[in-house]
């Protein structure tokens, strides 16, 4: 396109710095710069623009000029300099709408909404201002004939001021987003706390507002208790059988150890005997002429020794004997572990019941295990003022420890374990909750089964089974409710008898 000639006015006068001043400025530290993209297919426009704005300065910033002479070059320039502040964009270049395509490319393809686009054209008829402003996301529209030196200065300054505001706004938006993230985390923590508080409030409201519901609950709890007592009697019968056979298992283990020791001694004796025979043979064999002096019985003995060594495969016996003994010893260890497991359950009945502070037992259990898990797992406690209960103190603390450990293990990286106690006229309730993996419905009937484990493939699977047995032995009940991927609640209830309060 042709550049439009215009008369030179007072505003168009260009001022040049003196050579001595420029030399002095070059010795100083270079000031920061805004990138100004000049997009026009006429070289004279580039030269004129650089001359007019060569001494431009705003808020301590000067300009860095970058030139493109076609729409395609402009697109590449935008890609290479996404931090450019302003663009002087011609409309008609290689095509009548090349500049408009660049404007669309910047906003839609590059998603660059900070670059200030000043459209300037020498042929306004081909790019009417009203249509351009309405249909394209540009920031200013100028005809080349009206862009005097002063107006160009004003236009660039206005655009840069807008660019600075956008950059500040983006920075503040990031700061607000960071604050919102922290706020959301705090809100999440409070939601969890409020959720637990809501659960407690609902429980209290139900007990206060609906006595008939309490009565039904008590009847249902009584039926559950009756069923659990029947199961407890069944477990007790199993414990009795285990107790009767426990001595036999121990005796068998002792006899097996004695036999292994005897076998080992036989091996040593046999090895010594064979070594003596070997020595005897070595003394006789090197003297073939002396065989005439040996009796026929000696020859027979030597033949028997050779035949015996071949028949009994001495080398194989000496190699396998230690392996047999090692394998037998490991079997004994497995029997011993099984016996220890049985003893663990049988000993539940041996500890006497005495009054204990349930809240203190829970605190001690938490203190003993929390250091073994991630510090990102939080613990929320809400201990009410409850009476002391008659329980087997050591067994009960171990039971609490196993339940709380399971809650921690359900959340390997982070989460919250909630522990609370409450009391009414008839019972003390302990609630232990987590927001971990949860338990699938098909596994719910097996959670108290010995040696059953879902999330711990290498675990023993006796923790909850022991906890249940210990709680039942103290006349308590235990219930598990769980939703997969949401969490698990374990409710323990101990009856309060008037005699325990005296």
Report pLDDT for 19: 43
Work out the number of other CB atoms within 10 angstroms of the CB of residue 82: 13
Do 103 and 133 contact (CB within 8 A), yes or no?
A: no
Looking at 318, 348, 378, which one is the last position of a domain?
348
Question: Does residue 384 share a domain with residue 343?
Answer: no
Give the tokens for residue 82: 């996404």
Element (H, E) at 88: strand 86-90
In a domain, 233, yes or no: no
pLDDT in tens, 345-355: 666 667 888 89
Looking at 306, 328, 348, which one is the last position of a domain?
348
Question: Does residue 355 share a domain with residue 343?
Answer: no
Neighbour-count burial for 46-59, b at 16+ CB within 10 Å, e otherwise: bebbeebbeebeee
User: At 412, which CATH number?
Assistant: 3.30.565.10
Report pLDDT for 336: 65
Who contacts 149 (Cβ-Cβ below 8 Å, separation ≥6)? Answer: 11, 12, 13, 14, 52
Report pLDDT for 385: 92
pTM value is 0.40
Backbone angles phi, psi at 421, to 5 degrees: -130, 150
Number of alpha helices (DSSP H) and beta strands (DSSP E) in the chain:
13, 12
Report pLDDT for 309: 61
Question: Does residue 113 share a domain with residue 76?
Answer: yes
Work out the number of other CB atoms within 10 angstroms of the CB of residue 480: 17
Question: Does residue 493 share a domain with residue 406?
Answer: yes
Do 496 and 455 contact (CB within 8 A), yes or no?
A: no
Question: Does residue 495 share a domain with residue 403?
Answer: yes
In a domain, 422, yes or no: yes
Report pLDDT for 330: 66
Q: How far apart are the first and last CA of the chain?
A: 106
In angstroms, the Cα distances linking 357 to 284, 324, 386, 400, 408 are: 84, 52, 8, 13, 23
Question: Does residue 42 share a domain with residue 161?
Answer: yes
Find the domain containing 315 and state its range: 247-348
Looking at 314, 348, 382, which one is the last position of a domain?
348
Number of domains in the chain: 3
Residue ranges of the chain with per-residue pLDDT less than 50: 1-27, 230, 233-234, 237-238, 240-241, 243-245, 291, 499-502
SS3 letters across 318-364: HHHHHHHHHHHHHHHHHHHHHHHHHHHHHHHHCCCCEEECHHHHHHH
In a domain, 180, yes or no: no
Question: Does residue 314 share a domain with residue 422?
Answer: no
Question: Does residue 326 share a domain with residue 412?
Answer: no
Q: How far apart are CA 66 and CA 70, in angstroms?
A: 13
Q: DSSP labels for 392-440?
A: -HHHHHHHHHHHHHHHHHT-SS-EEEEEEEEE-SSEEEEEEEE-SS---
Report pLDDT for 376: 77
Report pLDDT for 245: 45
Give the tokens for residue 265: 């001694």
Question: Does residue 103 share a domain with residue 136?
Answer: yes
Question: Does residue 399 share a domain with residue 343?
Answer: no
User: At 101, which CATH number?
Assistant: 3.40.50.2300
In a domain, 199, yes or no: no
Provide the angle, in degrees to the nearest 10, between the axes of the packed helices 358-369 and 393-409. 50
Query: Which neighbouring-strand residues pair with 477?
Result: 493
Q: How far apart are CA 39 and CA 345, in angstroms?
A: 86
Neighbour-count burial for 369-392, b at 16+ CB within 10 Å, e otherwise: bbeebeeebeeeeebeebeebbbb
Question: Does residue 308 share a domain with residue 356?
Answer: no
In a domain, 215, yes or no: no
pLDDT in tens, 379-395: 888 999 999 999 988 88
Cα atoms in the 13 Å half-sphere on the side-chain side of 331:
13
Q: How far apart are CA 362 and CA 417, in angstroms?
A: 13
SS3 letters across 44-80: HHHHHHHHHCCCCCECCEEEEEEEECCHHHHHHHHHH
- Closest by CA to 436, choosing from 478, 498, 373, is 373
Question: Does residue 478 share a domain with residue 384?
Answer: yes
């Amino acid at each position: 396109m042709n550049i439009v000639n215009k008369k030179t006015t007072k505003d168009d006068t260009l001022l040049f710095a003196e050579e001595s001043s420029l030399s002095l400025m070059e010795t100083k530290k270079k000031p920061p710069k805004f990138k100004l993209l000049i997009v026009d297919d006429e070289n004279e426009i580039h030269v004129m623009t650089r001359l007019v704005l060569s001494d431009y300065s705003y808020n301590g910033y000067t300009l860095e000029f970058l030139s493109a002479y076609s729409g395609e070059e402009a697109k590449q320039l935008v890609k290479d300099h996404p931090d450019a502040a302003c663009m002087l964009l011609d409309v008609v270049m290689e095509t009548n709408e090349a500049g408009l395509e660049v404007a669309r490319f910047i906003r839609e393809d590059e998603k660059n909404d900070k670059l200030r686009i000043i459209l300037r054209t020498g042929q306004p008829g081909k790019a009417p201002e009203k249509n351009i402003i309405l249909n394209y996301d540009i920031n200013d529209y100028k005809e080349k004939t009206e862009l005097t030196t002063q107006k160009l200065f004003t236009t660039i300054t206005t655009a840069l001021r807008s660019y600075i505001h956008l950059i500040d706004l983006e920075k503040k938006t990031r700061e607000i987003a960071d604050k919102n993230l922290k706020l959301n985390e705090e809100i999440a923590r409070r939601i969890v706390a409020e959720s637990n508080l809501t659960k407690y409030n609902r429980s209290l409201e139900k007990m206060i507002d609906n006595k008939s519901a309490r009565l039904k609950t008590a009847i249902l709890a009584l039926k559950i208790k009756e069923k659990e007592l029947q199961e407890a009697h069944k477990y007790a019968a199993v414990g009795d059988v285990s107790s009767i056979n426990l001595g036999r298992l121990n005796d068998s283990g002792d006899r097996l150890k004695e036999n292994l020791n005897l076998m080992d001694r036989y091996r040593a004796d046999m090895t010594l005997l064979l070594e003596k025979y070997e020595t005897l043979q070595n003394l006789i064999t090197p003297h073939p002429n002396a065989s005439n002096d040996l009796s026929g019985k000696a020859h027979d003995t030597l033949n028997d020794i050779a035949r015996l060594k071949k028949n009994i495969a001495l080398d194989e016996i000496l190699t396998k004997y230690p392996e047999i003994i090692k394998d037998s010893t490991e079997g004994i260890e497995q029997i011993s572990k099984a016996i220890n497991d049985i003893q663990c359950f049988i000993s539940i009945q041996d500890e006497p019941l005495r009054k204990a502070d349930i809240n203190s037992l829970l605190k001690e259990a938490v203190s003993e295990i929390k250091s073994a898990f991630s510090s990102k797992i939080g613990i929320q406690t809400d201990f009410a003022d409850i009476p002391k209960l008659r329980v087997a103190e050591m067994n009960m603390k171990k039971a609490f420890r196993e339940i709380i450990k399971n809650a921690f293990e359900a959340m390997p990286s982070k989460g919250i374990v909630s522990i609370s106690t409450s009391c009414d006229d008839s019972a003390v309730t302990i609630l232990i909750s987590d927001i971990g993996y949860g338990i699938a419905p098909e596994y719910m009937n097996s959670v108290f089964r010995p040696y059953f484990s879902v999330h711990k493939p290498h675990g023993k699977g006796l923790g909850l089974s022991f906890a249940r047995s210990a709680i039942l032995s103290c006349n308590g009940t235990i219930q598990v409710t769980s939703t997969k991927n949401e969490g698990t609640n374990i409710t323990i209830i101990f009856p309060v008898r008037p005699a325990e309060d005296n």
